[in-house]
Structure 1
Amino acid sequence: MPSAAITEHMPTSAAAVFDLLHDYSRRLEWDTLLREARFTRGHTSAGVGATTLCVGKPLFGIIGIETTYVTFNRGVIAAVSMINRPPFFQTFAASIRHQNTGEGSSLTYRFSFRARPCFLRWLLEPIMLVVLRHETRQRLRALSRFLASTPR
């Protein structure tokens, strides 16, 4: 199963980064990949069991991934698992771990996935891994820049 981990320095505390990252009313202010981000199925805030939908911009195929939070420990870690069946994804899961450092904090985003259809995994998974790794790095850098330019 393809997976990756990307770490980025953040210019503020782990708690502040965590709160912004899971505030879906503000997600599109900094997220470079998404054109839509919202809670679903009656949920209004992040926490274990809450569900969200993130839809990519047209360049990324307008794929919508609906997830449910399986772990939520404010300021430390959150993890989600995909619950819908968008094109090309059989499974998808991700975790975001935060750690305070002497100068702000660090954020490590880990993800794993399985492509579909299964007979094309040999072709799809290497391409998807490169794209997801690149986009995740870009998104985390955008989050760091946003936090650096936002008054606290």
Structure 2
Amino acid sequence: MPQVTAEVWVPVEPDVAFAVSQTTGEVRMRWDPFIREQHLIDADVPAKGVRTHTRARVGPRMVSEYVSYRPPTSVGMTMVTGPWFFASFGGGWRFVPAEKDGRAGTRAVWKYTYSVRPSWLRFIAEPIGQWLLGREIRARIAAWARACEDPVVLDSL
């Protein structure tokens, strides 16, 4: 299955980095360029097995489920229902302590794995998916990195 990956270093500890990545509501809308609407479906807080409804700014909707939730190191999700062109979709975000120029912080690695349908269209759709999802994940992780230094976001944690 095709994958797209992005990584970045942020000047906050992993627990803060993880918490920023899991913000919801207005705080999430402040930093996440992908999401137009997002809410937990069957819980008040994220956890393994909890489902999330997400509507992208460009329109598609997806219900995903947390398949792992391990603060402050990692989180993973898989698509339950979503756009017709995804046969499957999953994402994982990892957070590890890392120094940069002698400064403590966190290295974040975000990855999307997907397959497209119909299968006969893969030779065209997968390169488009690599480009589109690659652009989206890079923009999203860059926005998240800025949020890790945004006083409004940090004060909300």
Deviations 1:24-43 (A, max 9, x none): 22321100111111111x22
SS at match of 1:7: strand
Question: What residue is the counterpart of 1:132 in the other structure?
Answer: 133
Are residues 1:81 and 2:82 paired?
no
Deviations 1:113-148 (A, max 9, x none): 001122211111110111111111111111111222
Cα distance, 1:84 vs structure 2: 0.5
Question: What residue is the counterpart of 1:96 in the other structure?
Answer: 93
Deviations 1:81-136 (A, max 9, x none): 11004221110011110011223111101111001122211111110111111111
Structure 2 distance, partners of 1:84, 1:149, is 33
Question: What residue is the counterpart of 1:13 in the other structure?
Answer: 13
Cα distance, 1:4 vs structure 2: 2.2
SS at match of 1:122: helix
Q: Which moved more, 1:139-148 or 1:19-28?
A: 19-28
Cα distance, 1:23 vs structure 2: 2.2
Are residues 1:45 and 2:45 paired?
yes
Cα distance, 1:46 vs structure 2: 0.7
Percent identity over the alignment is 22
- Are the equivalent residues in 1 in contact too, given 2:95–2:107 (CA < 8 A)? yes
Structure 2 distance, partners of 1:87, 1:11, is 39
Give TM-score, length-normalised by structure 1. Answer: 0.91
Question: What residue is the counterpart of 1:3 in the other structure?
Answer: 3
RMSD: 1.4
- Are the equivalent residues in 1 in contact too, given 2:5–2:137 (CA < 8 A)? no
CA 1:144–1:85: 2 relative to 1, 3 Å: closer
Deviations 1:58-101 (A, max 9, x none): 3xxx1112111111110101111110042211100111100112
Structure 2 distance, partners of 1:11, 1:143, is 12
1:68 to 51, 62, 65: 65
Where structure 1 has 5 or more consecutive residues not aligned to the other structure, the ranges are none
Structure 2 distance, partners of 1:143, 1:150, is 13
Give TM-score, length-normalised by structure 2. Answer: 0.88
- Are the equivalent residues in 2 in contact too, given 1:65–1:82 (CA < 8 A)? yes
Count of residues paired in the alignment = 148
Are residues 1:117 and 2:114 paired?
no
Question: What residue is the counterpart of 1:23 in the other structure?
Answer: 23
Where structure 2 has 5 or more consecutive residues not aligned to the other structure, the ranges are none
Structure 1 distance, partners of 2:60, 2:11, is 31
